[in-house]
Structure 1
Amino acid sequence: MNTQTSSSLYKGFRYPPEIMSHAVWLYFRFSLSFRDVEELLAQRGIVVTYETVRQWCLKFGQTYANELRRRRPRCGDTWHLDEGFLTIRGERHYLWRAVDQDGNVLDILVQSRRNKQAAKRFFRKLLKELQYVPHVIITDKLKSYGAAKRELLPGVEHRQHKGLNNRAENAHQPTRLREKKMRRFKSAKQAQRFLSAFGPIAGHFQPRRHRLRAGEYRTIFQDRFQQ
């Protein structure tokens, strides 16, 4: 990752930015715990505690994710939206997720409801973040989407069919893996904080390899590391 984003960002830390950014990358890119990252760094002669790694991820994770969002090209104008279930301390929550036609994660939002008001809140968050209106949105048959869309996106085509929305449903799979590794999220706030950073960082380092030649894949990967 580019550690020149802001010199003041790393002020007061005794470790070089390259080490801290590498630790954050390891945690969000792979299904690792803080203790796993601690061991990987120790193997390279870098002695830190897992609590230090946790503090680095809290401090820099969202900053890196925001910077990647800012630098990425404009995403597609076909939005796939879906909501998944999260069980947090015995209570059901809903993870609202939007991806474009290329699989880029547009935004996520953890909410306790999936009614019309929840859908409107998610639409507003998307529009504020992306600053453009889609050509078409694709959802399942949840009626909340249609009700919210009629108020906030009246001129946008809306396709509702479960079979059309596999892209959004598949986008939940990395979250399920991390949720299992973390032994479930402890609160809605923790889930929102983690996933807001996890989505952009992990997605940035997962180009659609099956559509690329080996040379193209290596070039793209190096470019993304430079970003």
Structure 2
Amino acid sequence: MCWTFKGHSFPKEVILQAVYFKLRFSLSYRDVEELLSIRGIRVDHATIQRWVYKFTPLIEVVLKKRRKLVGNSWRMDETYIKVKGEWMYLYRAVDKEGKTVDFLLTRRRSKLAAHKFLLKAISNNGCPKVVSIDKSGANKEAIRTYNNRSLKKIRIRQCKYLNNGVEGDHRFIKWRIQNMLGFKSFESASRTLVGIEIVRMIKKEQVTFPRCTYFKTFCSMAA
């Protein structure tokens, strides 16, 4: 996949600004539409939604090349996200410094879902030495399964106090989506959450780029 703005009725700068507004702030699509109209740009909220849907996977591809290394001590947990009236599960991990390790939206909370998330996180960041989890048996079994299959020795640490960091980090995601009317599909929710997480990582300065504004760093990922 590659970035292309051909065929769009609006210039690249407008599209990136609209997408950034949606991913960075707790705004509905209609809020973003109104903000743009104040600037003299008339674009329908449904069009902005299509932009977010199209471009967030491209941002994630660039992120994989430009993300900074995280620590080898992780805190892993999951939180609830409602999609089309049903609860889904957003698996997330941060390192001991609070840097985002990875994230994955799943339809169920299970050993299989936890194992899928762990594989994604390790593929993107390397294998950790220790993973702190709460009392979740599914997460514990997922790590044990990975150790057995890969002959690795990730140490499992079950301590709720140590997991406060990732649980606190969940609150940002909850706050960001509170003003939304709700996700209408799993794929739409997944792509939007990817964008929100990446903008959060930019704010945490986890993306390599000369010091500049967060917005400029975001735009550089579409270069």
Letter in 2 for 1:70: K
- Matched residue, 2:185: 187
Letter in 2 for 1:28: L
Pairing of 1:26-65 with structure 2 (within 5 A): 26-65=21-60
Matched, 1:104 2:99: yes
- Matched residue, 2:169: 171
Matched, 1:138 2:132: yes
Q: Do the aligned partners of residues 78 and 223 (structure 1) sit closer, same or farther apart at CA in structure 2, a change above 3 Å counting?
A: same
Runs of 4 or more, structure 1, over 6 Å off, are none
Q: Do the aligned partners of residues 224 and 179 (structure 1) sit closer, same or farther apart at CA in structure 2, a change above 3 Å counting?
A: closer
Matched, 1:123 2:118: yes
The offset of 1:170, in angstroms, is 1.1
The offset of 1:207, in angstroms, is 5.2
3-state SS in 2 of match to 1:21: helix
Q: Do the aligned partners of residues 189 and 141 (structure 1) sit closer, same or farther apart at CA in structure 2, a change above 3 Å counting?
A: same
3-state SS in 2 of match to 1:193: helix
3-state SS in 2 of match to 1:54: helix
The offset of 1:151, in angstroms, is 2.2
Paired residues in the alignment total 211
- Matched residue, 1:213: none
Q: Is the 8 A contact 2:75 2:132 kept in 1?
A: yes
The offset of 1:135, in angstroms, is 1.8
Normalising by the residue count of structure 1, what TM-score does the alignment of the two structures yield?
A: 0.82
> In 2, distance between residues paired with 1:224 and 1:156?
37
| 1:27-74: CA deviation from partner (whole Å, max 9, x where unpaired) | 100011111111111111122111221121112122123323421211
| 1:7-26: CA deviation from partner (whole Å, max 9, x where unpaired) | x6111223221111111111
Q: Do the aligned partners of residues 165 and 194 (structure 1) sit closer, same or farther apart at CA in structure 2, a change above 3 Å counting?
A: same
Unaligned runs of 5+ in 2: none
3-state SS in 1 of match to 2:40: coil
Q: Do the aligned partners of residues 128 and 206 (structure 1) sit closer, same or farther apart at CA in structure 2, a change above 3 Å counting?
A: closer
Identify the match of residue 222 of structure 1 among 213, 217, 220.
Answer: 213
Matched, 1:147 2:147: no
- State the Cα RMSD in Å: 2.5
Q: Do the aligned partners of residues 51 and 140 (structure 1) sit closer, same or farther apart at CA in structure 2, a change above 3 Å counting?
A: same
- Matched residue, 1:92: 87
| 1:81-137: CA deviation from partner (whole Å, max 9, x where unpaired) | 00112344453332211122232322222223333222212211222233x111211
Q: Is the 8 A contact 1:69 1:200 kept in 2?
A: no
Bigger fraction of residues in helix: 1
> In 2, distance between residues paired with 1:100 and 1:224?
24
Letter in 1 for 2:46: E
Q: Do the aligned partners of residues 222 and 169 (structure 1) sit closer, same or farther apart at CA in structure 2, a change above 3 Å counting?
A: same
Normalising by the residue count of structure 2, what TM-score does the alignment of the two structures yield?
A: 0.83
> In 1, distance between residues paired with 2:154 and 2:193?
28
| 1:171-200: CA deviation from partner (whole Å, max 9, x where unpaired) | 211221233211333333332222122101
Unaligned runs of 5+ in 1: 209-218
> In 2, distance between residues paired with 1:27 and 1:90?
22
Q: Is the 8 A contact 2:122 2:128 kept in 1?
A: no
> In 2, distance between residues paired with 1:11 and 1:151?
46
Q: Is the 8 A contact 2:90 2:103 kept in 1?
A: yes
